[in-house]
Structure 1
Amino acid sequence: MRLSDKSAIVTGGASGFGAGIVRKFLAEGARVMIADINGDAADAMAKELGDKAVAQRVDVADGASVAQMAEAAQKLLGRVDILVNNAGVTHLPAAMETVSEEDFDRVFAVNCKSVFLTARSLVPVMKAQGAGVILNVASTAGVSPRPRLNWYNASKGWMNNATKGMAVELAPDGIRVNALNPVAGETPLLASFMGEDTPQMRAKFLSTIPLGRFSTPEDMGNAACFLCSDEAGMITGVCMEVDGGRCI
């Protein structure tokens, strides 16, 4: 019960890596807000997981929606000890100059602007408490970028840099900030990363991962639980690769 008496918000919490983090946090004793743009999926998951889970529809790229989420979290959870910025999107694999402006704007709004918006709404809450943990879910794409996902790569590199800057600035306030860099996993984004979900494309992806498998929601939940627990009390500004050796 490493997160006993803690309250957490997990954005993009109704599917993929976010759902794995939600389930692990609940298993370790936390109260969790499942915040997702798919409100129906968040509601269904909260009902499945019991009284310690609550649902909230949020568009993480919209300031008013994020502010509403923060207000609801304080009301429903009592306090916010942990914020996991997990929601993310990508553009389809393409030559960098052919990606549409609409797709570029969407990637940076969801992957980058969201971190600013959640910080604007929740850092003051954590400062008032004198403690808090923020975990940003970036990607190995931000550490070791590959061709044809250029603007997605850049957005995740931004998240890693923002994590370190946030960690330095917020440390005197008792707030730790870290990031996770997963390799591709069995999530709704997998087909988008690959362009097409075929056995051949999966084999090509897996050949770049020394441990020979994708990241799983359980892998992410375990790593997130450690970094957000008091066991990691001396760890801040770390961008941890959960990638089976992909970035070596």
Structure 2
Amino acid sequence: MNRTKQIYNELLFRLDQGVYPPESKFPSESQLADEFSISKVTMNKIVSMLASSGRLTRGIRGAGTRVSRPIFRPKGNIVFLGVLSAFSCKILRGMQRECLNSGYFPVAFSPDAGELQSCLRNLNRENTAGIITTSYGLLEPPDEIELFCLDYALPYQASDPHVHFLNSDDYHGGRLLMEEVLKRGHREIAIFSSERFFLRSDAPVTSRVQGFYKALEEAGILDYEQRTFFAMPQSI
């Protein structure tokens, strides 16, 4: 490695480490030339390389050179693919925080059922590092992209190494929720669920609803199936 490249890498390292804070005045070419024992012509070339890469901003008419604001260069996109609700928006906020902390860019899609396949076709290895999905059932990831299914309620076989499942303890959560409702003296209770709208009309009752049923049964309320209604999310 020649001397010019060595000095360039050293200054780049200093910028990465915050030795020269963003928007601060960068040392003059004369100072740096003396520090590294090279000519001002060579140092001018190195500073020009740093400016061309976006790390420095040259001033006008002798105003000096300043350190540029850092540019976010994401490692890739992490796609959130889900029906937006109060619950899924909390997941999206957490995903966004972790993506930005880890150097990835979060992208959110919430397509209608008829647009879902078109949306998936637009994703590929070049623009997508992974997919997090909820409420759309089991998707087939394109181009072997890593797919994380949240709270997928139906039985499945984990045969695809690129598909991962993260499930909440919906049964006990549903049971605890209904027990709390019952503790407050409520007995005229109806259950609204949207899972079958996105899956199929004869899909098994989800674990959360089963938890509701168990708590109602233990309280002596046995007509829980007649109290349950399935429809589109946020339709009531």
TM-score by length of 1: 0.27
* Bigger radius of gyration among the two: 2
Q: TM-score, normalised by structure 2?
A: 0.28
The structure, 1 or 2, with the larger RCO (C-alpha pairs under 8 Å, 6+ apart) is 1
